[in-house]
A = this chain, B = another copy of it.
Amino acid sequence: MMSEISRNGATGGGQPGRIGIGLELDEIHMKILEVLRENGRISVAALAERVGISRANAYTRFEALRADGAIKRFTAEIDHVRTGLGITALIFVTVRQQMWKQFRAELARMPEVEYCAITTGQHDAMIQVRVSDVAAVHTMVTDRLANIPAVKATETVFILDEVLKRPYVLPSDRDQAARAQRRPTPETQGDVPLGKMRFVGAAEGRAALRKDT
């Protein structure tokens, strides 16, 4: 039902961290992942053909990727609107320090939470919830989250539209985007003042896009 997933170690960049433990991923492994993220139910035989290796090899690599953990699981993407959970919201949570364990434990008891990440910045965590109506969001925030001592404050935002959702990003995508990257002149930074990445004041002229709460 729930799953602990890899720590990022956002300081990263330097040490290889957990990378390299287990098998080395070559180009063919990446190709396999590429196919599998688009069609998780493809047969290994068809996979072998699309990647250009023998069936036996495909079975070996497929199993290796699974055993190594590079492939964590296979899943079905579901249309939430069709299943009656058409409302999606993001709740930014400020957590009392040293009460993280409790916060995590409570999260596990909330099935409407699809995703939770610990973030830098103004808040400590972001959770994404899927519910049937806007009232359920309010209930969730005021009744359930508010009852967790670890939660100091929240800020809720509704998702109006999910524009893009890629199955899973892979490094090989970068290569395909190489040409897309060649644009007028990289030096010309346009008219957008983005020197610092954080806390660029961004509250102006967006009176629209606001229909709730």
Q: Which residues on A are within 8 Å of B, measured CB to CB?
A: 1-13, 17-19, 22, 25, 30, 33, 36-41, 68-88, 90, 92, 94-95, 97, 104, 107-127, 129-130, 132-135, 137-138, 141-149, 151-171, 173-174, 176-177, 180-181, 183-184, 186, 188-206, 208-213
Whether B158 and A97, one on each chain, are in contact in the complex, defined by CB atoms closer than 8 angstroms, is: no
A36/B76 contact (C-beta < 8 A), A83-B171, A120-B212, A159-B119 known: yes
A81–chain B nearest beta-carbon distance, Å: 5
B154 pairs with A197, CB closer than 8 A: yes
Tell me which residues across on chain B come within 8 A of A118, comparing CB atoms.
159-163, 209
A13 to B212, CA, bound (A): 11
Question: In the complex the two chains form, what is the Cα distance from A37 to B85 in whole Å?
Answer: 15
| A-B CB contact pairs (8 Å), 10 listed | A19-B81, A19-B82, A39-B75, A75-B168, A83-B171, A118-B209, A138-B197, A141-B194, A145-B194, A157-B198
